[in-house]
Amino acid sequence: MAMNKQLNPASFMALLLDAVCAVDSDGRFVFVSAAGEQIFGYPPEEMVGRSMLAFIHPADRERTLAAAGKIMTGQPNPHFENRYIRKDGQVVHIMWSARWSESNQMRIAVARDVTERKRAESMQAALFAISEAAHAAENLSALYQHIHQIIGELLPAQNFAVALYDAASRQLSVPYQVDTRPADTPLTPPDLCELGTQVIGSGQPLLWQRSPPQPADDCEALGDPLLQSWLGVPLCTKQGVIGVLILKSYHVSMAYTRQHQELLQYVSTQVATAIERKQLHSRLQHMAQHDALTGLPNRALLNDKLQDALAKAIRHNSRVALLYLDLDNFKHINDSLGHSAGDLLLQAVAQRLSQCVRGADSVARIGGDEFIVLIEDLQRQEHASLVAEKIQQAFAMPIDIKTSTLHINVSVGVAHFPEHGSNGQQLLSHADDMMYQMKKQRRGLPAL
271-329 pLDDT per residue, tens: 999 999 999 999 999 999 999 999 999 999 999 999 999 999 999 889 999 999 999 88
Predicted TM-score of the model (pTM): 0.69
Q: What average pLDDT does the segment 182-211 reach? A: 77
Using CA atoms, how far residue 140 sits from 134, 137, 280, in Å, is: 9, 7, 10
Which CATH code fits 118-288? 3.30.450.40
Phi, psi of 349 (to 5 degrees): -60, -45
Given its phi and psi angles, is residue 329 left (phi above 0), alpha (psi -120 to 50 degrees) or beta?
left
Using the 8-state DSSP alphabet, how is residue 411 labeled?
A: E
Radius of gyration of the chain (CA): 35
Q: Which run of H or E residues covers position 237?
A: strand 226-237
Which CATH code fits 18-113? 3.30.450.20
Domain(s) labelled CATH 3.30.450.40 in the chain stretch across: 118-288
* CB neighbourhood size of 415 (10 A): 24
pLDDT for the residue 362: 94
* CB neighbourhood size of 206 (10 A): 17
How many angstroms from the chain centroid is the CA of residue 91? Answer: 26
126-176 pLDDT per residue, tens: 999 999 999 999 999 999 999 999 999 888 899 999 999 998 888 899 999
**Angstrom distance (rounded) from CA 345 to CA 350:** 9
Instruction: With CA atoms as reference, report the closest residue to 63 among 81, 42, 90, 45.
Output: 81
Task: Examine the pLDDT at 355 and tell me if it is beyond 90.
Answer: yes
Q: What average pLDDT does the segment 50-70 reach? A: 95
Using the 8-state DSSP alphabet, how is residue 59 labeled?
A: G
CATH class of this structure's domain 299-444:
alpha beta
Domain(s) labelled CATH 3.30.450.20 in the chain stretch across: 18-113
CA-based angle 399:400:401, to the nearest 5? 115
- Distance between the two ends of the chain, CA-based, in angstroms? 124
Using CA atoms, how far residue 78 sits from 41, 52, 428, in Å, is: 23, 18, 71
